[in-house]
Structure 1
Amino acid sequence: MKVELIMAWPRRHRAVTLDLPENATLQQALEKAGWTQVENVDGYAVFGVNAEASTVLHEGDRIELLRPLQIDPKDARRRRASKAKR
């Protein structure tokens, strides 16, 4: 089965497509890609849904490596809204 791993930073990203055996886990995908020691990973998601290393993957899954938030999303929205009012 084919799955895609994605890491994103501001203004750039890295994506890798992998061929894995049926019932492979997220951890096995990370190992095959060589992404087990990636720094600043706060968690994982499959199509935007939180996932664990033990999550069993399916054909066509997109695995996202999540970075810690730089700013609280509510604060960011408030700042944008206050700038728009001016």
Structure 2
Amino acid sequence: MVEAVIEIEVVYAAVDRQVLRAVSVPERATVREALIKSGIGSEFPELDLTECPLGIFGKVIADPQVRLIRAGDRIEIYRPLLADPKEVRRLRAAKAAAAKARGQ
């Protein structure tokens, strides 16, 4: 019996370039299996495909080893943030307050 195949996309945005790759995977593949089958790990050897955080269409997947992929899904590989957005906003507000205080 031939296993059904579905089409998905895998995307990753490194600091210097972005990749969007169409991939054919078995219908019953998990998100992590589909990611490994995409071959993106050979293009970005710094990625640990067994541990990196993943999402589908902007929603983080809690357990990619269990979650099955569906036709048309776009697996997104997330990089760690360089700066905490809340901390950046707090520093910007403090700087604006200091500038305002000097101006009065």
Q: TM-score range by the shorter chain?
A: 0.7 to 0.9
Query: Which structure has the larger Rg over C-alpha atoms?
Result: 2
Relative distance call for 1:69 and 1:30 in structure 2 (3 A) is same
Where do 1:4-83 residues align within 5 Å?
Answer: 4-10=9-15, 12-36=17-41, 38-40=45-47, 42-51=52-61, 52-79=64-91
CA contact under 8 A between 2:9 and 2:72: conserved in structure 1?
Answer: yes
CA contact under 8 A between 1:7 and 1:14: conserved in structure 2?
Answer: yes
CA contact under 8 A between 1:40 and 1:67: conserved in structure 2?
Answer: no
Counterpart secondary structure, 2:26: coil
Counterpart secondary structure, 2:40: coil
Q: Deviations over 1:43-84 (max 9, x none)?
A: 11111111223320111101011111110011233455656x
TM-score by length of 1: 0.75
Higher helix share: 2
* Ranges in structure 1 where 5+ consecutive residues have no aligned partner: none
Question: How many residues of Structure 1 are paired with residues of Structure 2 in the alignment?
Answer: 85
Percentage of identical aligned residues:
34
Relative distance call for 1:48 and 1:16 in structure 2 (3 A) is same
CA contact under 8 A between 2:35 and 2:75: conserved in structure 1?
Answer: no
TM-score by length of 2: 0.64
Aligned CA-pair RMSD = 2.5
CA contact under 8 A between 1:40 and 1:68: conserved in structure 2?
Answer: no
